[in-house]
Amino acid sequence: MAEDIPKFRYDAALANDIETRWQARWEAEQSFRQPNPGEPGFQAERPKYYCLDMFPYPSGAGLHVGHPEGYTATDILSRYKRMRGFNVLHPMGWDAFGLPAEQYAIQTGVHPALTTKKAIDNFRRQLKRFGFSYDWSRELGTIDPDYYGHTQWIFVQIYEAWFDVQQQKGRPISELIAELESGTRAAQFNPDAAEVGHEDKRKVFAWSALSKREQRAIIDSYRLAYLAQQTVNWCPKLGTVLANEEVIDGRSERGGFPVFRRPLKQWLFRITAYGQRLIKGLEGLDWPDATRAKQTNWIGHSVGAEVSFELAQPLGEQQDLYVFTTRPDTLFGATYMVVAPEHPLVSAVLQAPRPETDVSALQVYVSKARNRSDLDRQQDKTKTGVFTGVYARNPVNGEHIPVWVADYVLMGYGTGAIMAVPAHDERDHEFALAFGLPIREVVKPASGSVEGCFSDDGIAINSASSVVSIDGLPTPEAKAKITAWLEQQKLGKKKHNTRLRDWLFSRQRYWGEPFPIVYDADGDHHPVKKFPVELPELADYQPEESDEPRPLLAKAQAWVHTTAGAAGVEGLPADAKVTRETNTMPGWAGSCWYYLRYADPRDASEPISREADRYWLGDGVDLYMGGAEHAVLHLLYARFWHQILHDLGHVSAPEPFKKLFHQGMILNFAYERADKTLVPIDEVDAVEGEPVERATGQRVTQIVTKMSKSLRNVINPDDVIADYGADTFRLYEMYMGPLEASKPWNTRDIAGLQRFLQRAWRLVIDESTGQPKLSDAEDPQLERQLHRAIAKVQGDIERIAFNTAIAALIGFVNAGTSAAGLTRSQAERFARVLAPFAPHVAEELWQRLGMDGLVSLAAWPSYDDAQLHDATVEVPVQIMGKVRHRLQVPAELDAAGLEKLALADPKVQELLAGKSVRKVVVVPGKLVNIVAN
């Protein structure tokens, strides 16, 4: 059969040929290399644009279709900005340390260094095949020793810093030490340190009388990176502890394994100190409201009072029980207290039971709570608890109230103990009813009455004693008065609290950054100042599933045991024996600062030079594109590091990401049976247009859901490129709908975008010769349409609305197809507006038109405002808001003229017959609305 497809028809084969050719040329010419200030070729007069993608975690599975969605969007913006004369920083790299790579290595028996390298090579190949205009000379990987050496350096900066609450600012630890030594700061533990007990915080020392070790303890309580015995989320299956953020519904985010609580000595970041800064910093940012709200909620800042309740009899060292409450005005209604099962009071009372203590019941309850995974604990919300036998004294009225232990109180929030006010707190109410505890009303609603538990603001009642009274005060005043009284009596103080907890930073796994920390013979920690601390080769990286955490790096004995001199530790004799920290950093570490490194990727002496920071990041990253799944974790952690680095003077911008945009998720269709179970996409046939399950012949319903292997609806980008080409793929994903929306993949729709490129190609190129076919005479109507398309595309790119920009390009090509043809000038301008979206075909058109250089580096075409409108316009004439007639009028006709014309029109007069005109609304050039009855 004769093949009469023209030789230069734009089909998948030609697209693939064009694309690979231009990609090779861009690479050979380093077309998108962006020099830094001071480097040859740097153009100082240009404005800058830093366009950043969230770098991928290179998995063995390769890219999925969600990756190129965000990457195409930033590529369009980067290419557009380049054409508009910006210096564009558009880099790419690899987030390559972390649990998934290690899990994969364990499964396959291949070392993570090898599997990761392979995955990176594959990702790079796939990304290059899309023609993304990254500056590959800036490529980096978090696993590069050069890179993670700086990650470790930043850790040491954080370790050697503290947060000054007065100034709301991080400062070098040396300044704190100077203040302590000079006596300008009282020698006390950090009052906000979560790891220090209340008894210790109360003490005031004489600095010079303290031993070195005692001084160290006080200094350490201020450090922003600190070591503490913590109740942690221990995941035996993964053989590591996890951050709260990595635990979802009591299971590990990775793998979905059960997580238990156990005490462990761990490195933590004092991120809670930055809680208020992290909320406040969101104010000026151009971020999605939802993401700002998520972070604010996650940090969960609340203001209240910390109140001490004196124990009826001291328990060992403990004399007081501290609680945090946002409702100090309800103190008179506190009829009992509750401590978390992990609270120190519990072990104290087990040591020295009171007459009323039921030791065995208490022991059973506490051990049960400990062994219960968070999952069980959260699923079962019925209130349980045990009386400890201890009583505490209510400071406002001297009443002795019982102290209970119950797992509805969490050790991780506030002080791990509460005063229970069952009349005005739902949970306390439920607990009191379950255990027959007294309920005393101390707030009444300002008007009306309430059944059950009233937890809103109201008026204080029954709130007076011989020492203090707040009766009759509205809640806000009652809070203020009682807090002032508590402070004056030294029984409490105003307190800010965050739901956010300090960030657990240790992992017991192999595939992560080693800590730049060693321990001396006394077990004291010291920072390492020689970077990188290289991850030792380890042939056996199999974690042991156990209840007792054993860091994998402990197996590298030769690496663990070293000397201060060899490790690069200051302040110890060079031959002093030290052992290295064997925990590793979590996967988040590398992604906390990679956007800084791109600006200066080969600087050996520091993470980023001052010049590179000032130029590229002086006001932060101009656009950060990535998935909403990172709204809290990565985006909060990175802001935290950045704020510290800013406070310490290492970076100039107060916030790292000026504008943030989340691309929506790409979903796919699946089919659902009547019983809501899902049917894989390839087991469904269309029968008379209705989807039917092949095996059963039953009707199924089309739904939209996440792509998944089990539904066999995962789309492989490589296949799509082979079938249609990268330009079509890029256009399709951008055309699916608004970038921020989640939307279903529909392979059928891709053809429409390929047809568009085909028509565009044919509009300029003769399919049989490959030569341009151009018109000599300019069609003025088509010229106006080109100006409109340029204006529309330009505006739409600026507002990140690529679907409508592409619609405008399609509209222009359709208009061109029905007109006599494009002139050379029109074809050449069209190639430019097309270039950000479909860069390969745009380059090919550009070259075939005989233009010099690359269209990718050409200037964006301008448009003429005067060309955006036609001389005459059609104006609808409405009567009572309904369109009844249309008039052709000069575009610039003013309101009075238009009204006159409309009312004089015979058709309008006919429609108005028998009615009187009440009012005429005229929008010049738009419409006429006649109100008549």
- What are the phi and psi torsion angles at 223 (to 5°)? -55, 145
Pick between residue 325 and residue 823 the one whose CB is nearest to RNA: 325
Concatenated DSSP letters of 486-498: HHHTTSEEEEEEE
749 interacts with RNA by CB under 7 A: yes
With CB under 7 A as the contact rule, the residue among 298, 541, 559, 671 that binds RNA is 298
d(CA 85, CA 861): 12
Pick between residue 460 and residue 564 the one whose CB is nearest to RNA: 460
Pick between residue 337 and residue 589 the one whose CB is nearest to RNA: 337
The number of helix segments (H) and strand segments (E) in the chain equals 30, 37
Pick between residue 380 and residue 487 the one whose CB is nearest to RNA: 380
Pairing type for strands 48-53 and 623-625 reads parallel
Pick between residue 362 and residue 631 the one whose CB is nearest to RNA: 631
What residues from 353 to 392 belong to the interface with RNA (CB under 7 A)? 377-378, 380-381, 383
With CB under 7 A as the contact rule, the residue among 429, 743, 784, 787 that binds RNA is 743
Report the nearest approach of RNA to the CB of residue 922 (Å).
9
Sign of the torsion formed by the C-alpha atoms of 735, 737, 742 and 746: negative
Residue 723 near residue 65, CB atoms below 8 Å: no
What residues from 31 to 60 belong to the interface with RNA (CB under 7 A)? none
Report the nearest approach of RNA to the CB of residue 148 (Å).
28
Among the listed ranges 59-67, 129-137, 401-409, 770-778, the one in contact with RNA (CB under 7 A) is 401-409
Residue 744 near residue 704, CB atoms below 8 Å: yes
With CB under 7 A as the contact rule, the residue among 285, 648, 715, 931 that binds RNA is 931
User: C-alpha distances in angstroms, 463 versus 329, 395, 439, 475?
Assistant: 8, 12, 14, 12
**Which residue type sits at 904?**
A
With CB under 7 A as the contact rule, the residue among 137, 208, 229, 297 that binds RNA is 297
Residue 501 near residue 522, CB atoms below 8 Å: no
Report the nearest approach of RNA to the CB of residue 596 (Å).
27
Report the nearest approach of RNA to the CB of residue 678 (Å).
13
1 interacts with RNA by CB under 7 A: yes
Among the listed ranges 161-169, 565-573, 773-781, 797-805, the one in contact with RNA (CB under 7 A) is 797-805
Across 663-764, the runs of DSSP E, i.e. the strands, are 666-672, 678-679, 684-687, 690-693, 701-706, 743-745
Pick between residue 265 and residue 926 the one whose CB is nearest to RNA: 926
What residues from 911 to 930 belong to the interface with RNA (CB under 7 A)? 919, 921, 923, 926-927, 929
d(CA 1, CA 6): 15
Report the nearest approach of RNA to the CB of residue 352 (Å).
24
Pick between residue 582 and residue 728 the one whose CB is nearest to RNA: 728
414 interacts with RNA by CB under 7 A: yes
Report the nearest approach of RNA to the CB of residue 216 (Å).
30
Report the nearest approach of RNA to the CB of residue 709 (Å).
18
Closest listed residue to residue 560, CA positions, set 583, 582, 584, 538? 582
With CB under 7 A as the contact rule, the residue among 314, 445, 752, 770 that binds RNA is 752
Kind plus residue range of the DSSP H or E element containing 73: helix 66-83
Among the listed ranges 64-72, 213-221, 295-303, 856-864, the one in contact with RNA (CB under 7 A) is 295-303
Sign of the torsion formed by the C-alpha atoms of 257, 261, 266 and 271: positive
Query: How far from the centroid of its chain's Cα atoms is residue 220's Cα?
Result: 30
Q: Is 781 exposed, middle or buried (0-12, 13-18, 19+ CB in 10 A)?
A: exposed
- What are the phi and psi torsion angles at 500 (to 5°)? -55, 135
Among the listed ranges 32-40, 515-523, 628-636, 707-715, the one in contact with RNA (CB under 7 A) is 628-636
Among the listed ranges 83-91, 218-226, 600-608, 804-812, the one in contact with RNA (CB under 7 A) is 804-812
With CB under 7 A as the contact rule, the residue among 240, 272, 325, 584 that binds RNA is 325
Report the nearest approach of RNA to the CB of residue 611 (Å).
39
With CB under 7 A as the contact rule, the residue among 748, 780, 914, 916 that binds RNA is 748
Report the nearest approach of RNA to the CB of residue 633 (Å).
9
Please, what is the angle between helix 839-848 and helix 747-764, to 10°? 10
With CB under 7 A as the contact rule, the residue among 465, 814, 825, 867 that binds RNA is 814
Among the listed ranges 309-317, 324-332, 545-553, 843-851, the one in contact with RNA (CB under 7 A) is 324-332
Pick between residue 459 and residue 760 the one whose CB is nearest to RNA: 760
Report the nearest approach of RNA to the CB of residue 842 (Å).
18
**Which residue type sits at 854?**
L
Report the nearest approach of RNA to the CB of residue 773 (Å).
14
Sequence-distant (≥ 6) Cβ neighbours of residue 376 within 8 angstroms:
250
Contact pattern from residue 870 through residue 899 relative to RNA, giving x for each residue in contact according to CB under 7 A and a dash for the rest: ----x-x-x-xxxx--x-------------
294 interacts with RNA by CB under 7 A: yes
Which residue bears the tokens 């400890």? Answer: 388
What residues from 723 to 742 belong to the interface with RNA (CB under 7 A)? 735-738, 741-742
Which tokens is 71 given?
């990457």
Pick between residue 500 and residue 572 the one whose CB is nearest to RNA: 500
With CB under 7 A as the contact rule, the residue among 59, 103, 804, 825 that binds RNA is 804
d(CA 29, CA 853): 11
547 interacts with RNA by CB under 7 A: no
Report the nearest approach of RNA to the CB of residue 870 (Å).
11
Report the nearest approach of RNA to the CB of residue 30 (Å).
35
Residue 275 near residue 299, CB atoms below 8 Å: yes
d(CA 799, CA 467): 63
Sequence-distant (≥ 6) Cβ neighbours of residue 367 within 8 angstroms:
none
With CB under 7 A as the contact rule, the residue among 416, 458, 492, 586 that binds RNA is 416
With CB under 7 A as the contact rule, the residue among 194, 248, 312, 576 that binds RNA is 248
With CB under 7 A as the contact rule, the residue among 43, 174, 708, 746 that binds RNA is 746
Pick between residue 546 and residue 702 the one whose CB is nearest to RNA: 702
Among the listed ranges 163-171, 464-472, 522-530, 806-814, the one in contact with RNA (CB under 7 A) is 806-814
Among the listed ranges 31-39, 435-443, 610-618, 747-755, the one in contact with RNA (CB under 7 A) is 747-755
d(CA 478, CA 486): 12
Pick between residue 529 and residue 755 the one whose CB is nearest to RNA: 755
Pairing type for strands 400-405 and 318-325 reads unpaired
Kind plus residue range of the DSSP H or E element containing 525: strand 525-527
What residues from 208 to 247 belong to the interface with RNA (CB under 7 A)? 244
**Residue 618 half-sphere exposure toward CB, CA atoms < 13 A:** 9
Q: b or e along 464-499 (b: 16 or more beta carbons within 10 Å of the residue's beta carbon)?
A: eeeebbbeebebeebbebbbebbeeeebbeebebbb
Which residue bears the tokens 């510290």? Answer: 644
Report the nearest approach of RNA to the CB of residue 250 (Å).
10
**Strand order across the 660-661 sheet:** 87-89, 48-53, 623-625, 660-661
Query: How far from the centroid of its chain's Cα atoms is residue 689's Cα?
Result: 42
Among the listed ranges 117-125, 432-440, 574-582, 757-765, the one in contact with RNA (CB under 7 A) is 757-765
With CB under 7 A as the contact rule, the residue among 205, 260, 413, 435 that binds RNA is 413
What residues from 670 to 709 belong to the interface with RNA (CB under 7 A)? none
Count residues near RNA (CB under 7 A): 84
Residue 239 near residue 259, CB atoms below 8 Å: no
